[in-house]
Amino acid sequence: MILTNTLNPSIDISYQVESLEIGAVHRPTQMIKNAGGKGINVTKVLDDLGADVTATGYLGGTNGQWIQTQLEQRNIQLQFIDIEGNTRQCIAINDGEHQTEILEGGPEVSKASQALYLKQLADIAHQYKVVTISGSTPKLMNQSKTAYMIKILNTLTNSYNIVDIDGQSLKAILGQSAHIHAIKPNQSEFEDLVNQKGLSHQDIFKILKTNQLFKDVDVFVTLGSEGAIIKLKETIYKASLPNINAVNPVGSGDATVAGIAYSVEHDLDPVTTIQTALACGTSNAMQAATGKIIQQDVDDLIKKVGVEKLG
Ligand code: ATP
């Protein structure tokens, strides 16, 4: 079984407009409203893959209720902690050329809710072979985000934990907790982690091979349409993708995390794990919706993802 954690979910609203002009009135030609936040995207893709998945995190107010209702329509166990504030909304406006985003910060989580969440994790975590933690950490009353993340990881002692949180928080905790088993930075997140810019694929390979920060962690450095460079245990691989028609790559990283979680849950070998993870990311990029894969596309793509051992 797989447990996903979304500490700061959102209702993601996407507007399509003819053109975007500051100060003007806009009437969208299309509006899509989805249950979102990176962890919820991971959850939806795992459900699309037919995995046995439980979702937890914080939900509150009418927005939280709306997300809960959307997820109840799927085959997902829900264990969200109910908080006082209203779950956030994030708005993306597409004008055909650019995407403009307005991202609310989300409600503050009280000390009592933080404690409830940790207690629930401590009670249920042992049931799960794989745990994912994704997305931003909410505002926490009287608590540092780093300290809270370490407390969460300290309850996850028996599972394979995949951590895909915002760059600053990841930087703060990587190397500080023995309970991070995999991370999935994209190229710019990886560059932030190692304080270097403009890395070539060869540079990424060398850093993964030698930097002690990654010694005990599996690392999937995703490179959009260029595939990924992956470190699994001591071996580094380069994965390449077939040409596809990318419709909307947003959430492809989350779909990749779902593919990794699914592979670990099913004890897949390293090459098949990489192929499955990237096939999920690429299938998501082929869909207009965010956090959506098509099983048939994943099955086809798995055979077409090239995996080469770099060393
Ligand atoms: P997000 O933050 O939007 O979830 P990300 O920046 O974390 O995404 P990317 O590196 O963009 O992640 O993509 C993850 C994976 O998704 C890639 O390794 C690849 O398999 C697939 N992917 C993303 N964009 C494309 C694309 N344009 N064409 C094909 N595959 C893609």
pLDDT in tens, 214-246: 999 999 999 999 999 999 999 999 999 999 999
Phi and psi torsions of 232, nearest 5°: -120, 120
C-alpha 96 – ligand 1 centre gap (Å): 20
Verify whether ligand 1 is closer than 6 Å to residue 222 (CB atom).
yes
Q: Please say whether the beta carbons of 60 and 83 come within 8 A.
A: yes
Distance from C-alpha of 98 to C-alpha of 85, rounded to nearest angstrom: 32
Q: Which residue out of 10, 240, 250, 252 has the highest number of ligand 1 atoms within 8 Å of its CB and is therefore the one to mutate?
A: 252
Please name the residue whose Cα sits nearest to atom 2 of ligand 1. Answer: 253
Distance from C-alpha of 137 to C-alpha of 254, rounded to nearest angstrom: 16
Distance from C-alpha of 151 to C-alpha of 156, rounded to nearest angstrom: 9
pLDDT in tens, 36-76: 999 999 999 999 999 999 999 999 999 999 999 999 999 99
C-alpha 223 – ligand 1 centre gap (Å): 7
Estimate the crossing angle of helix 187-194 against helix 201-210, to 10 degrees: 50
Q: Which residue out of 189, 222, 275, 302 has the highest number of ligand 1 atoms within 8 Å of its CB and is therefore the one to mutate?
A: 222
Nearest partner of 219 among 173, 186, 188, judged by Cα: 186
DSSP string, 214-244: GTTSEEEEE-GGG-EEEEETTEEEEEE----
Verify whether ligand 1 is closer than 6 Å to residue 252 (CB atom).
yes
pTM value is: 0.96
Say what the ipTM of the complex is: 0.98
The pLDDT, as a whole number, for residue 295 is: 98
C-alpha 226 – ligand 1 centre gap (Å): 9
